Structure 1
């Protein structure tokens, strides 16, 4: 078993140096853009902001992969959420809240199994979050279907915004090999070689 410090703390590349890097800047910008889009739509922006934060990665390639996985998770969780809401409108299980909570909890099984069946088990957590936000958070909403579709749209907005921001802004600095740095002209050539 690992020492307790390794269980609770991750290794950090620069443990004594804090700086605001491009990933932080891109995340802040993506969240801001999501909030403005939500404001213009007259909708709450929480779900798009969360999706943008979760999708933002160090590189555009990793963001694209993560975004695709989030879209898959959103589709699975949203589809099951709409199905449960349809059943709820027929049987009115929310009148007996413990029964409704049991149904929602048990429905996590097919949500997770579906992510495994489509060979995307890494999307299970996100699919469950979308499913739960659709089935639990809508309580008291006049039209649960519109609510479910709006939550799926919010998530998609956050994913797309994270992708666009990450593609439009520069990625992490790449180290230039010393042999290539010698070929550089102008100020900074010595620094690049280090």
Structure 2
């Protein structure tokens, strides 16, 4: 008797791979780094449109809120340390920034705290004074492209349609 494979690749996994790969392809032709678009696509894919909107919205709104908040906080930091670098002032700025992020997320998008916090940490601790604005804006744009791609894929290929298309293949693979 034939044993089933212990590995399962479901429809959502395939749609996630398709979404991220299409982002990478588009960005290849644009000559841009596709990393954050692909990450947005991966986080933006859900089991259905409702879950895609939720997870993609978390990622997108978190990136937007964290990005603009990070720009503001880093600008304040540069008033005291114009050359950037790592100084103790970053710690209270991060603390205050996360508190403000939590409050803003309650008004705009509750699930935005974690992705917004990631962007905030990267801006304050990894991106230099010459790139913090362009990094933030590019990250917002790229995340939006990735999330939009996952929403498009989930809209174009809903589970019901895929099941209908794939049913003959499933029957043949089972020997029916």
TM superposition score category, shorter chain reference:
0.7 to 0.9
Q: Unaligned regions of 5+ residues in structure 1, if any?
A: 1-15, 176-187, 189-194
1:82 aligns with 2:64: no
The match for 1:3 is none
Deviation (angstroms), 1:129: 1.7
Q: Unaligned regions of 5+ residues in structure 2, if any?
A: 164-170, 172-176
Divergent runs of 4+, >6 A: none
The match for 1:158 is 146
1:111 aligns with 2:101: yes
Number of equivalences = 162
**Structure 1 length normalisation: TM-score?**
0.69
- On the 8 A contact 1:59/1:172 being kept in 2, the answer is no
SS at match of 2:7: coil
- Higher Cα Rg: structure 1 or 2? 1
Distance 2:157 2:35 in 1: 23
**C-alpha root-mean-square deviation of aligned residues, in Å?**
3.0
Higher relative contact order by CA 8 Å / sep ≥ 6: 1 or 2? 2
The match for 1:128 is 117
Q: In proportion to residue count, which structure has more helix? A: 2
The CA deviation string for residues 121-165 of structure 1, in whole angstroms up to 9 with x for no partner, is 3221111122223333322x6342122111111111111111111
120, 125, 130: which one pairs with 1:142? 130
